[in-house]
A = this chain, B = another copy of it.
Amino acid sequence: MKKLIDAVDDVVVDALQGMALAHPDALTLDLEHRVLLRAEPKEQGRVALISGGGSGHEPLHGGFVGRGMLDAACAGEVFTSPVPDQMAAAIAAVDRGAGVLQIVKNYTGDVMNFEMAAELAAAESGTEVRSVITDDDVAVEDSTFTAGRRGVGGTVLVEKIAGAAAEEGRDLDEVTAIATRVNERARSMGVALTSVTVPANGKPSFELGEDEIEVGIGIHGEPGRHRSTLVPAKDVARRLLDPILAELPGEGPVLLFVNGMGGTPLLELYILAKDAHEILAEAGVGISRQLVGNYITSLDMAGASITLLRLDEELTALWDAPVSTPALRRGL
């Protein structure tokens, strides 16, 4: 295992400190609870948004803390859900009297830990806490026989769009409804060119041959739908977009999100973006907004995911709203 780290046990804490040090104007770190908070808290009377999950997906979630997006992010161990105490601390810190929305990726551990945090908060402070569970990964097929679809790329879009709604002053019901709508209208799928190596494990989580790719992977090295030989990027794009399009609800233009897994350079992501444009044009799907880059990663995995979000006027306006976070910034 070759990584720029100091000690396997300190990876999360060191990275959190580095992140806070690198963005002193944007972020404050509650080191005890491993919670990144906005350096300038939101004004009173606004709905607050928190998220979190296992580490190893940077910039998600800490990189999305800031004006127009999250109020706090809770960092678990690498690929391990944070514990309720962390979310409770985050909720207490960000509550501005209008309630708190938790954005939770659909993994059993995450769902239960956030749920307990909400119970804790309700019991201790009376803060109204809602949760939206993101589950946009179409690679999980039989969701009745599984823990359900996983939350992946769509989570970033939920955080941005619901964040904008909260910033505008919408109430907890509205912000929750918007987050729910974004999740319902988003579908994703990913591909791995190489495995991920978890620092504490020290070896690749799965083996892929020199000419193999794994299609439909999760963001924790979970297995995919099928293994295939290496194919051109356009075929990769097709294998991701076909199942996405088959399950994408609604009509009209989409937001195209081409996301890198951490080990794939921008050059390749832009090639994949071009291929996605061509395929969507053939399919008669208009693209009205885009995001291309490394936003929800899986440590050092080489690979990419594509997310489509079926926009509407309101979601488009909220997507366009100003945002100022370490990883996503526009208009501020």
- Chain B residue numbers with a CB within 8 Å of A14 are 270-271, 274
- Chain B residue numbers with a CB within 8 Å of A266 are 58-59, 63, 262, 294, 297
Chain B, Cβ-Cβ closest to A274: B18
- Chain B residue numbers with a CB within 8 Å of A236 are 4
- Chain B residue numbers with a CB within 8 Å of A294 are 265-266, 294
Please report the C-alpha to C-alpha distance between residue A277 and residue B233 in the assembled complex, in whole angstroms: 40
Contact of A267 among B22, B272, B299 (CB under 8 A): B299
Known contacts A266-B59, A330-B329; A232 and B271 CB within 8 A of each other: no
Tell me which residues from 52 to 79 in chain A have a Cβ below 8 Å from any Cβ of chain B. 55-56, 58-59, 63
- The answer to whether A269 touches B4 (Cβ under 8 A) is yes
Please report the C-alpha to C-alpha distance between residue A262 and residue B302 in the assembled complex, in whole angstroms: 10
Q: Let me know if A230 is at the binding interface, CB within 8 A.
A: yes
Please report the C-alpha to C-alpha distance between residue A239 and residue B122 in the assembled complex, in whole angstroms: 51
- The answer to whether B263 touches A302 (Cβ under 8 A) is yes
Q: Let me know if A177 is at the binding interface, CB within 8 A.
A: no
- Chain B residue numbers with a CB within 8 Å of A124 are none
Binds B, one of A5-13, A145-153, A163-171, A215-223: A5-13
- The answer to whether A267 touches B2 (Cβ under 8 A) is no
- The answer to whether B275 touches A6 (Cβ under 8 A) is yes
Q: Contact string, A133-153, partner B, CB cutoff 8 A, digits 1/0?
A: 000000000000000000000
Chain B, Cβ-Cβ closest to A268: B4
Q: Let me know if A113 is at the binding interface, CB within 8 A.
A: no
- With most chain B CB atoms within 10 A of its CB, the pick from A233, A268, A294 is A268
Please report the C-alpha to C-alpha distance between residue A16 and residue B270 in the assembled complex, in whole angstroms: 8
- The answer to whether B18 touches A273 (Cβ under 8 A) is yes
- The answer to whether A2 touches B302 (Cβ under 8 A) is yes
Q: Contact string, A179-207, partner B, CB cutoff 8 A, digits 1/0?
A: 00000000000000110000000000000
Contact of A233 among B6, B23, B193, B258 (CB under 8 A): B6
- Chain B residue numbers with a CB within 8 Å of A271 are 4-6, 11, 14-15, 18
Chain B, Cβ-Cβ closest to A300: B265
- The answer to whether A2 touches B210 (Cβ under 8 A) is yes
- The answer to whether A7 touches B265 (Cβ under 8 A) is no
Q: Let me know if A17 is at the binding interface, CB within 8 A.
A: yes
Please report the C-alpha to C-alpha distance between residue A304 and residue B18 in the assembled complex, in whole angstroms: 15
Please report the C-alpha to C-alpha distance between residue A273 and residue B5 in the assembled complex, in whole angstroms: 11
- The answer to whether A265 touches B263 (Cβ under 8 A) is yes
- Chain B residue numbers with a CB within 8 Å of A230 are 2
Please report the C-alpha to C-alpha distance between residue A101 and residue B320 in the assembled complex, in whole angstroms: 33
Q: Let me know if A33 is at the binding interface, CB within 8 A.
A: no
Q: Hey, which bits of chain A sit against chain B, CB under 8 A?
A: 2-7, 11, 14-19, 21-23, 55-56, 58-59, 63, 193-194, 210-211, 213, 230, 232-234, 236, 258, 262-275, 277, 290, 292, 294, 297, 299-300, 302, 304, 329-332
Q: 20 more A-B contacts (CB under 8 A) besides A2-B193, A18-B269, A19-B273?
A: A2-B194, A2-B211, A2-B230, A4-B264, A4-B269, A5-B232, A11-B271, A14-B270, A14-B271, A15-B268, A18-B272, A19-B270, A21-B274, A56-B267, A263-B264, A264-B300, A265-B299, A266-B294, A266-B297, A300-B302
